[in-house]
Structure 1
Amino acid sequence: YNSCAFIIRNEFTFVNLILDNGSITSDWSKTTNEWLPVPTITCNQKVDVKMRNSSIIKADNFILGNAPNSIVGEQGEISMIKIRQLTLKNNGKTSISGNLVIEREDTNEYRQLEVTCATTGYDESKHSIESCSGIINGGNEGGDPSDPEFPIIVEDATNYTFAFEDNWPTYGDFDLNDIVTTIDKVTFAQHEDGSVGVYTLNGTLQAVGASKKLGVGIQFLGFTASNVVELKGIVEGITSNATPINFESNQSNPVVIICNDAHRFMGNSENDRSYVNTLANNSNNKNGVKFEISIEFKKGAVKPKDLNINLLDVFIISREADSKTKRIEVHVAGHAPTDLGNTKLFGQGNDKSSAEEKRYYLSSENLAWGVVIPTDFAWPLEYKNVKDVYTNFVSWVTSGGKENKDWYNNHNGQVFKK
């Protein structure tokens, strides 16, 4: 993660990279009064690059040795990749998209290269890039015929997996597969003032590993309902066009209920609580069911930072409300329940939540009933405790995410395989 100047004398190698008003260049040249390109940037594993707020990569030779690769320009002022030569050594797909301009000297064509952002020749873009070291690229005043028109479409194709245990406030079997849902892609149109126009979230309900009725919802923490012009939704197999939907009533934050009955949503018949995609070679296993939420905002009301993944609170409903008590919700650790969620179980069973301490859905051992993983995730099979399947899970979650951040890359094989 780089938000300032990174100066590379010879060669730079990376896998995942976020530039937020950051620059990757070589030394400053007193002869030509410019930041020189890095001689070689080489990546032999598949890469994921996100560039935000006037960031730049400047290189003589940019080499990608594996695939698939994703390079995405995100929010803020346009970012830039300025390279003399691009070398792709693998036949897999390399995608370059979003709020980004590529200045490129060579003209090599690659069948596996998909570029949907603005492109120009080397030194031909009019865009000026400025970071903490001043102006990194001055821009060509002659104009840029490929300059994107507003609204700019920004896409975040990172997959996020949300996995839940429904037995809160007790551990239960702690297999974290009672509900598994993914956020597959987020896209938004950005106006010239930097605000968001239409925001679209694409997700998939992947698995239901519970024998009781469960619901799934999303609480948006970065904006208010008053900033919304229109809300629409699509559910696979039910409608082919986006239809108007409503935020849930009596909520301080905007809340969308994806489904009230996850088993039915996945295609089970009414009152059929058979597991879906948590048992190996089970006849009830099937493809996940896709959903889409589209939100149009008032111009100038919502910024891209208001839609950050940390402000997207996916949660499950493990018991519906009745005449006496509010519904029971389970959220990712750290997120408070919605206004309709029951807090009377805080501190019961294994739970050690406290509204006063702003501590939510964490146990006395600092374990969580809901987690989010920033990639595809092989969830545990039914009845297999996540602590046994992923031996580094405990140290990750109890350290607040500081240790074993890649815990989800190593398991004992007792996971559901699509």
Structure 2
Amino acid sequence: MSGADIWITGIGLVSAHGEGRAAHLAALAGDTPTPLDADSHAPFPLHPAPALELDRQIPKKGDQRQMEPWQRLGTYAAGLALDDAGARSLVAEMDLIVAAGGGERDLALDESVLAALAGLPPAEAATQLNALLAGGLRPTLFLAQLSNLLAGNISIVHGVTGASRTFMGEEQAGADAVRIATARLAEGRGQAALVGGGFVAARWDLMVLYHSAGLLRQGGFAPVFTRDDAPGAIPGTLAAFLVLENAASARARGARGLARITGVACEQARRDGQDGSAAAAARAFARLALPDGPLTVLSGATGVAGPTAVERDFLAGLGRDITLRSAGSRLGWGVEATFPASLALGALMLAEGVQPPSLEPAEAPMAAPAQDLLVTGFGAWRGEALAHLRAIPAEEQP
């Protein structure tokens, strides 16, 4: 990535561990399993949402009431990021780039429609379905919330009123959101950007969808690279927003950087073809300017058997001494929020010199704090993404 130097100056991170820097530094430094809910959506485990005082970031009760859980979660995390960066004064000109899913469905309506249609003859069921939908559709003529409502609520609640974009597309949305935000700032199109997403794991509609695709683990917790007994992802309620900032502007206002983003590269392979996921990731890696020699990797692998094995093949193909750490073992699978959350964890590792202990045999001990970090994101179904984070020396800080 050429152009202006881009820093991460703030993170807003919410997971099963809690919220903010302190909770996630403790999670990085600890060797205990991530909090797990194995009962509410059995047989599928998930990492639950922490208790949040929503008034701290969404002060108006009316705003809270009109948002669904994923919007409240994302808006809350966006506010944490702005406060962490001390960037409230920048919001009027700050770009907003959000990674979002298809919006939360009205499950009560879905259930009432299915109950009403059960046992009806096809012709009668079709007529009844049309009648039910005519009275139940949202004003958007859609059975779910629109994805860009999260961006709208962040703008309303926090006053972020620069250019706004919303990306959809599972993990690829989170990676492309960061890539576009970083590229715009590097090209001089803006001073700062707020980028990220949110995901609520405790949703039966998503559990059914992901289970039908063979993506979910059944059983108890196991680290990502030791799930051979029951391969699959463990969803985690997760929200992550980053404040990205031109380094010169950050220094001018006295803001310290957590990490430098030197490049983000995304690919999308046809995983059932000859040009597979490992080859796509290798192409992306070639666009990053990582130094030669040993490499520290913060993996965004989900635990789904296919893409997790492909990531192993890709890393082995680099021919380097790899020290691996799994973000998914510590946060769970947050779909659109996964890649921004991995970057947030990576920034904390570099800024604080954290050497996370090993959680499984694939994670060899770290000999020293990382100075360069390769962050990976292999989507559960599609999408390969890499980012290079670099520590910022003390002499470059304000």
Structure having the higher Rg: 1
* Length-normalised TM-score, structure 1: 0.26
- Higher-helix-fraction structure: 2
Q: Which has the higher contact order (CA 8 A, sep 6+)?
A: 2
